[in-house]
Chains A and B, each alone.
Chain A
Amino acid sequence: MGDVMIAVEKIKEGVVIDHIPAGKGISLLTLLGCSSHSKNVALLLNANSGEFGKKDILKISGRELSQEELSIVSLLAPCATVNIISHGEVVKKFRPELPDVLRVGSCPNPKCITKIEGAEEFLKEGNEYRCKYCERLFSPEELVSS
């Protein structure tokens, strides 16, 4: 028997996030809050990808991504591409960039004032982020995994 293709219906309006590093799709789904959304969502795990070997793909129907959500994608999956789908066609394709100021994520420092106050804000320094409050430096991954 040859390869079995898992067919996932094409979406007409929405977003396809492609080239998510294999294994990160579920985290991204959770962080984007898709599971609690009433929209139609498909997550493909370990899809074949020439470039990456394996990749995850997330398809969200009938919804756009906010700037904040794009920040989450860039933090968790810096190599992912975001495809905006309209009338069944890709109308825009881009790789979300790490923003200069980040207001999502959580400071990994347990003694940071944001642990009781919220109001997280991180400022980009090279490829890392400095917490505006405790002034410590973190990798983008640490901010979404803590």
Chain B
Amino acid sequence: MCFNLSLSIMLGVYMRDLISMRELSTDDVEEIFSLVSSNSLLDGVVVTAFFEPSTRTKLSFLSAAQRLSLGVVDMLPELSSLKKGESFHDTIKMLDNYADAIVIRSPLEGSARRAADIAEACVINGGDGANQHPTQTLIDLYTIKMRKGLDGIKVAFFGDLKHARTTNSLLYGLAMFGVDLLLISPEGMEVRRDVLEDVRKTFDVKIEEKRELDFEDADIVYMTRVQEERFEDKYMAEKVRRAFSLTSELLSTAADDALILHPLPRRDELPTTFDSTPHAAYFEEASYAVPVRMAIFRWVMS
């Protein structure tokens, strides 16, 4: 975003981008959460530019925008001019003419930051490759805040922590609130080293990594899907998926009132038998997708 800041403040408009949890503060996050209960509507047009398929993220952004009475324009990926050889730069330049805010998802890491450099409109990162997914993180954090609060809790991550961008973002989000972290993943699926070191260096939090299936009385179990498409050896993928599926016995190692979160979609790593238990918080988590994304539009656009 290159909007003239002094002019925009004079006009009472303050525009921002939401690119990465790395640059948000706890005050920013609290401010966004305070906007969830706001009734204010917004003026303007949102363009959704999804360069890879997504159903939930895109639909919830479109729904959030419409509930705020924003106009919406969706760039259909099959019609994307990138397919016709237009550069990323020129595509964003063009979309900028149509939009007050651009929601971008791309398999290429750093796409949202690059778009924000090019566009005057606010840019919201809807997921950039394996890097960041800040809006999902805000939904996860909001769910935890509503159900448990963020003070003095412990969160256990469980599954493929290497390829899930939700993990990278959420580690920053939880660490900034001083939440203790327990990371349980199969061999080769550990959290990226540079992310872990950056989180350790930036925040004063307790982080433990291990392979043993034991949640150590954690208050939250955050599950991710084992991404089979990332495995060359399909038999290995199947083996890991089975080993990293949730069972009642395993859940009993968490706190008695522990909650299960999962960014969905799930496969059989999270059996439906948990749905009717008081531990299941993933549908509630999904129900916050629209209200939190409405708050995000309010935060970046007004």
A contact residues vs B (CB 8 Å cutoff) = 109, 111-117, 119, 131-137
Contacts and interface: CB of A to CB of B under 8 A. Distances in A.
B114 A135 contact: no
A101 to B, nearest CB: 14
Contacts of A115: 108
Interface stretch (B3-11, B33-41, B129-137, B231-239): B129-137
A139 to B, nearest CB: 11
Contact of A137 (B128, B130, B194): B194
Given A111-B130, A117-B87, A134 B194 contact: no
Contacts of A112: 108-110
Nearest to B198: A137
Interface in B52-93: 87-89
Q: Which of B22, B109, B113, B114 has the most CB of A within 10 A?
A: B109
30 contacts: A109-B109, A111-B129, A111-B130, A112-B108, A112-B110, A113-B88, A113-B106, A113-B108, A113-B109, A113-B113, A114-B114, A115-B108, A116-B87, A116-B88, A117-B89, A117-B114, A131-B110, A132-B110, A133-B109, A133-B111, A133-B114, A134-B129, A135-B20, A135-B22, A135-B110, A135-B131, A135-B132, A137-B194, A137-B197, A137-B198
B44 interface: no
B123 to A, nearest CB: 13
B117 interface: yes
Contacts of B108: 111-113, 115-116
Interface string B193-222: 010011000000000000000000000000
A103 to B, nearest CB: 13
A109 to B, nearest CB: 6
A111 B129 CA distance: 7
Of B20, B117, B131, most A-chain CB atoms within 10 Å: B131
Given A111-B130, A116-B88, A134 B198 contact: no
Contacts of B197: 137
Contacts of B149: none
B107 interface: yes
A109 B20 CA distance: 18
Contact of B194 (A114, A133, A136): A136
Interface of B: 20, 22, 87-89, 106-111, 113-114, 117, 128-132, 194, 197-198
What DSSP secondary structure best describes chain A's contact surface?
A: loop
Given A113-B88, A133-B110, 10 more contacts: A111-B130, A113-B109, A114-B114, A117-B87, A117-B88, A119-B117, A132-B113, A134-B110, A135-B132, A137-B197
B251 to A, nearest CB: 34
Contact of B113 (A109, A111, A133, A136): A133
Counting from the closest, the 5 A-B pairs by CB-CB distance are A133-B110, A134-B109, A113-B110, A134-B110, A137-B194
Contacts of B113: 113, 132-133
A83 to B, nearest CB: 37
Contacts of B20: 135
Contacts of B198: 137
A136 B132 CA distance: 11
Contacts of A114: 110, 114
Contact of B131 (A117, A134, A137): A134
A137 B215 CA distance: 30
Contacts of A117: 87-89, 114
A143 to B, nearest CB: 14
A116 B117 CA distance: 15
Most B-side CB within 10 Å, residue of A132, A133, A137: A133
Contacts of B106: 113
B111 A113 contact: yes
Nearest to A119: B114
Contacts of B110: 112-114, 131-135
Given A134-B131, A135-B131, A111 B114 contact: no
